[in-house]
């Protein structure tokens, strides 16, 4: 039971390059999220998916696209990377259990754009 996994762990891109961050979960949760975390700031939501086939923008969606491929997988794509996208990216899932929401995070992808 791996929980939430993310690949790659580290990535360096040049400005203008594209890449896709992968996230997979084996927890059978419907909801999945992509966040970015920058020094001195809280985690900020990029995109959210309530279920397979649905996605919604979060606080900071510009420059990103997402795909909810199936219940297990939720990918984040940077079409043309910019230095402002240097950050740590976290994927998360959530479930409502006994009336309470619980959210679980992956280990993160550390992205540097030069």
Partner 1 sequence: EDQVTQSPEALRLQEGESSSLNCSYTVSGLRGLFWYRQDPGKGPEFLFTLYSAGEEKEKERLKATLTKKESFLHITAPKPEDSATYLCAALPYNNNDMRFGAGTRLTVKP
Residues that bind partner 1 (CB under 8 A): 4, 31, 40-45, 48, 50, 56, 58-59, 90, 92, 99-108
Q: Tell me the closest approach of the beta carbon of residue 90 to partner 1, in angstroms.
A: 5
Q: Tell me the closest approach of the beta carbon of residue 54 to partner 1, in angstroms.
A: 11
Residue 85 sits at φ, ψ, to 5 deg, of -95, 5
> According to DSSP H, which parts of the chain are helical?
none
Q: Burial code of 90-103, b = ≥16 C-beta within 10 A, e = fewer?
A: bbbbbeeeeeeeee
98, 47 contact by CB (below 8 A)? no
Residue 95, token pair as written in the block = 């479930």
Judged by beta carbon, residue 79 or residue 102, the one nearer partner 1 is 102
Judged by beta carbon, residue 44 or residue 72, the one nearer partner 1 is 44
Judged by beta carbon, residue 48 or residue 64, the one nearer partner 1 is 48
Judged by beta carbon, residue 15 or residue 112, the one nearer partner 1 is 112
Q: Tell me the closest approach of the beta carbon of residue 6 to partner 1, in angstroms.
A: 8
For the chain, give me the number of helices (H) and strands (E)? 0, 11
Q: Tell me the closest approach of the beta carbon of residue 73 to partner 1, in angstroms.
A: 17
């Amino acid at each position: 039971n791996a929980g939430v996994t993310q690949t790659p762990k580290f990535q360096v891109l040049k400005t203008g390059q594209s890449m896709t961050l992968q996230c997979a979960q084996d927890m059978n949760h419907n909801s999945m999220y992509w966040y970015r975390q920058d020094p001195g700031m809280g985690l900020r939501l990029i995109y959210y998916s309530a279920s397979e086939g649905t996605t919604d923008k979060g606080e900071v969606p510009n420059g990103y696209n997402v795909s909810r491929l199936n219940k297990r997988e939720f990918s984040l794509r940077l079409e043309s990377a910019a230095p402002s996208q240097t950050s740590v990216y976290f994927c998360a899932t959530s479930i409502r259990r006994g009336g309470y929401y619980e959210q679980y995070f992956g280990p993160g992808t550390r992205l540097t754009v030069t």
